[in-house]
């Protein structure tokens, strides 16, 4: 596939804006509607923002970060960019789709590329019931929260709360409690990617809980249903020497 017509985007940070000026000066700027590929310059947070904006399109996204290489990014080098785009390897990611029911009865939908997380809103521990494919698996989890992560997101928040790293291609999701109090011995589960997970908040009036899909938050929730959206495929490009699969593998030995 040709990747010569490039639309550049950048975060508002000074280094990213300087990099944007450099590459557009050298390679020009193709309108998004006419582009073959999107190059996003910034950090992993900006890459997530860009991917959320691209969910309705089919353009692949190649991330570049000035400074240290972000997990979803390639290193910023202006020289030979078109050749790098041609040689880049494609990775397809399927986001999680969450459907939230709030205490007020409102329904709110969201997409998560990394994870859907539930967190307590007050000093009271959250009490959450967990069902998988319609069957209750944890009757009452007393915790600070719980999350469901994709393979790409398994090295992010999920890993920081001691969840498992999931190699790409495993067709799995990580279900991980956050600071669990009871059950004491439960440390989470690895689920098939086809699983449908429901979190129900117990005693929500006293123990308020929020739900967040990446950076999109819904507060005062009553329940959340989550499943992987196979209908949506987000396409990322990586330099062969910095493939996402290799990074996920390497994270397990750090």
Residue 44 contacts residue 70 (beta carbons within 8 Å): yes
> Same domain for 29 and 14?
yes
Taking the C-alpha atoms of residue 102 and residue 222, their distance in angstroms, rounded to an integer, is 5
pLDDT number for residue 249: 67
> Same domain for 57 and 134?
no
pLDDT number for residue 70: 65
Taking the C-alpha atoms of residue 167 and residue 164, their distance in angstroms, rounded to an integer, is 10
CATH assignment at residue 163: 2.60.200.30
> Same domain for 185 and 240?
no
- Concerning whether 44 is annotated as a catalytic residue, the answer is yes
> Same domain for 161 and 77?
no
Q: Are strands 115-120 and 221-228 parallel, antiparallel or unpaired?
A: unpaired
pLDDT number for residue 152: 87
Read off the tokens for 248: 């996920």
CA-wise closest residue to 240 among 92, 87, 93: 87
> Same domain for 66 and 115?
no
> Same domain for 59 and 168?
no
Which tens digits make up the pLDDT trace of 47-68? Answer: 988 988 887 667 999 999 986 6
Cβ neighbours, 10 Å, residue 202: 16
The one catalytic residue in 36, 44, 144, 225 is 44
In a domain, residue 45? The reply is yes
> Same domain for 88 and 105?
no
Which tens digits make up the pLDDT trace of 174-194? Answer: 999 999 999 988 999 999 999
pLDDT number for residue 130: 98
Taking the C-alpha atoms of residue 14 and residue 99, their distance in angstroms, rounded to an integer, is 37
Total structural domains within the chain: 2
pLDDT number for residue 54: 80
In a domain, residue 14? The reply is yes
> Same domain for 100 and 89?
no
Residue 210 contacts residue 121 (beta carbons within 8 Å): yes
Q: Tell me, rounded to whole angstroms, the distance of Cα 169 from its chain centroid.
A: 16
> Same domain for 142 and 194?
yes
In a domain, residue 1? The reply is no
Per-residue pLDDT tens, the chain, 254 aa: give them. Answer: 678 899 999 999 999 999 999 999 999 999 999 999 999 999 888 998 898 888 766 799 999 998 665 678 899 999 999 999 999 998 888 999 999 999 999 999 999 999 999 999 999 999 999 999 999 999 999 999 999 999 989 988 999 999 998 887 789 999 999 999 999 889 999 999 999 999 999 999 999 999 999 989 999 999 999 999 988 888 889 998 766 667 666 666 66
Cβ neighbours, 10 Å, residue 45: 13
Q: What is the chain's length?
A: 254
In a domain, residue 140? The reply is yes
Collapsed DSSP state (helix, strand, coil) of residue 229:
coil
> Same domain for 111 and 212?
yes
In a domain, residue 109? The reply is yes
> Same domain for 200 and 110?
yes
Count each helix (H run) and each strand (E run) in the chain, helices first.
5, 18
Q: Are strands 197-201 and 221-228 parallel, antiparallel or unpaired?
A: antiparallel
236 forms beta bridges with 61, 91
> Same domain for 38 and 86?
yes
In a domain, residue 40? The reply is yes
* CA dist 27 → 40, 66, 87 (Å): 14, 18, 17
* Residue ranges making up the domain that contains 174: 96-228
In a domain, residue 108? The reply is yes
Taking the C-alpha atoms of residue 207 and residue 209, their distance in angstroms, rounded to an integer, is 7
* Rg of the chain (C-alpha set): 20
pLDDT number for residue 241: 76
Cβ neighbours, 10 Å, residue 142: 17
pLDDT number for residue 68: 65
Residue 36 contacts residue 7 (beta carbons within 8 Å): no
Look-up: residue for tokens 């209908």?
A: 231
């Amino acid at each position: 596939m040709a990747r010569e017509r490039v639309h550049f985007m950048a975060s508002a940070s000074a280094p990213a804006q300087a990099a944007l000026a450099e590459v557009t000066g050298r390679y020009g700027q193709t309108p998004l509607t006419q582009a073959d590929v999107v190059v996003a310059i910034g950090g992993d947070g900006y890459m997530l923002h860009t991917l959320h904006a691209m969910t309705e399109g089919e353009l692949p996204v190649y991330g570049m970060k000035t400074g240290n290489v972000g997990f979803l990014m390639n290193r910023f080098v202006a020289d030979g960019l078109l050749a790098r785009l041609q040689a880049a390897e494609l990775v397809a990611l399927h986001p999680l789709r969450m459907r939230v029911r709030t205490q007020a009865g409102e329904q709110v939908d969201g997409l998560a590329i990394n994870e859907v997380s539930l967190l307590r809103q007050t000093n009271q521990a959250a009490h959450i019931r967990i069902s998988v494919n319609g069957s209750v698996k944890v009757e009452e989890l007393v915790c600070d929260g719980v999350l469901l992560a994709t393979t790409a997101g398994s090295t992010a928040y999920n890993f920081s709360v001691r969840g498992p790293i999931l190699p790409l291609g495993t067709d799995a999701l990580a279900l991980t409690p956050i600071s669990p109090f009871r059950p004491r011995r439960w440390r989470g589960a690895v689920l098939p990617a086809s699983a449908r997970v429901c979190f129900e908040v117990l005693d929500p009036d006293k123990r308020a809980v929020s739900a967040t899909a990446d950076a999109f938050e819904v507060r005062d929730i009553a329940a959340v249903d989550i499943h992987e959206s196979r209908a949506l495929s987000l396409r990322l490009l990586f330099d062969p020497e910095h493939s996402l699969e290799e990074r996920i593998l390497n994270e397990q030995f750090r």
